[in-house]
Amino acid sequence: MNPKLPINDMLLPELIDFFKELGQPKFRAAQVFQWIARGAADFSEMTNLPAALRETLQSSLTVEGRPLLDLPRVLRMQKSKTDGTRKYLMGLWDGQAVESVFMKYSYGNTACISSQVGCRMACSFCASGIDGKVRDLTAGEMLGQILAMERESGEPISHVVIMGTGEPMDNYENVSRFLQLVHDPAGKNMSWRNITISTCGVIPGIRKLGKDFPQVNLAISLHASNDARRSALMPVNKSYPMKDLLAACKAHGDQTGRRVTFEYTLIAGVNDRPEDAAELASRLRGMLCHVNLIPLNKVEEKEFRGTSRQQAEAFRALLEQKNIPATVRRELGSDIDAACGQLRRRVKA
């Protein structure tokens, strides 16, 4: 009996239907759902299931040869010597691989997960888009990154940011399913407010997110204060120009009552001058928002250089003078190339 989806992609009602077809009671589905959320990587670990059922499940495959329990496998883990950040290379069922990051913050352990293998947005300063997009990740593969990191580190994860490789709004359907899975109180039970989605500015996705998941945090990769500069750095700006993007963010804030975060990567000599801060402040005036300044992290193939910490602080001060709340992001994991924009597709460990 082979279902269409691996069971860790299934929402609880779908899992219940699948177990029904196997002639199993509802509570079995709930047990399995809970085992998955607790990080079980094999049916043999699900010790409260009857042995015969475990064997049936063990021998099932889904469409296209995917395993019934289709979890990413940790191929490699690198631990930062400076801040305890861990970067993982996760192997997927078809031989592809993505990177995920575990970070320690005062408010809780946070997973930064990937949403696609590669990325087709081609931002000029980012490592993730260098080879284009290979494929979307499934909901189960997104949740699986969190579960695999919890299992390997032995530490619970309470927060997630979809800020790894990929553009989540370019894979909205699977991301939406992931949000439902990770939030389900019968499973991982993560609160909406502990989840953040970062987008390069795909407006239809922003609108859908506000409607479908109004309590999930929205972060926008802005990186420039006008269309000419933004289009040069981020091709997506040609489809969704800043005026429309900022209007969508304003509407999102009005509708959800939540503050939008703007990520602004500071690139030396490109977008980090005092005039840039002034223009940015005027564009954001009156919006419920917060600016997160990230001095560019070095990407080997790219020429760009990051702004110094000191100059980043000066940029922040200029924004705050204009009443735009801003912070300079603490840089985690740069000694293991796990910082923002340094994640990429690696096929070999």
Residues that bind ligand SAH (CB under 6 A): 121, 123, 125-126, 163, 167, 198-200, 221, 263, 265, 294, 296-297, 299, 340-341
**Which residues, including other chains, have CB under 8 Å from residue 194's CB and lie 6 or more apart?**
108, 158, 159, 160
Q: How far apart are CA 273 and CA 312, in angstroms?
A: 10
- Whichever of 333 and 341 has its CB closer to ligand SAH, that residue is 341
The tokens describing 7, both together, are 């069971």
Cβ–Cβ < 8 Å for 305, 267: yes
How far apart, in whole angstroms, are the C-alpha atoms of residue 334 and residue 308? 15
Q: How far is the CB of 110 from ligand SAH (least distance, A)?
A: 13
Nearer to ligand SAH, 68 or 119 (CB): 119
Instruction: At 25, list the tokens.
Output: 């009671």
Residues in the chain: 349
Q: Is 299 within 8 Å of 341 (Cβ atoms)?
A: yes
Residue number with CB closer to ligand SAH (43 or 125): 125
Q: Nearer Cβ to ligand SAH, position 46 or 220?
A: 220
Read off the amino acid at residue 273.
R
Query: Active-site residue among 119, 123, 249, 340?
Result: 340
- To the nearest whole angstrom, how small is the minimum distance from the Cβ of residue 153 to ligand SAH? 22
Cβ atoms of residues 201 and 220 within 8 Å = yes
* Cβ closest to ligand SAH, residue 133 vs residue 188: 133
Q: From the CB of 137, what's the least distance to ligand SAH, in Å? A: 13
Residues in contact with 131: Cβ distance below 8 Å, sequence separation at least 6, in sequence order = 118, 344, 345
Q: Which residue lies nearest ligand SAH, judged by its C-beta?
A: 341
* Catalytic choice (99, 141, 167, 263): 99
Q: What is 220-232 written as a DSSP string?
A: EE---SSHHHHHH
Q: How far is the CB of 126 from ligand SAH (least distance, A)?
A: 3
Q: How far is the CB of 1 from ligand SAH (least distance, A)?
A: 38
**Gap between the Cα atoms of 75 and 97, Å rounded:** 9
- Residue 264 CB, nearest approach to ligand SAH (Å): 8
340 belongs to the catalytic site:
yes
d(CA 271, CA 263): 13
Distance CA(250)–CA(347), nearest Å, equals 40
How far is the first Cα of the chain from the last one, in angstroms, to the nearest whole number?
A: 35
Q: Is 24 within 8 Å of 32 (Cβ atoms)? A: no
Q: Which is nearer to ligand SAH, 130 or 314 (CB)?
A: 130
Query: Taking the CA atoms of the chain, what radius of gyration do you get in angstroms?
Result: 21
Residues identified as active-site: 99, 340
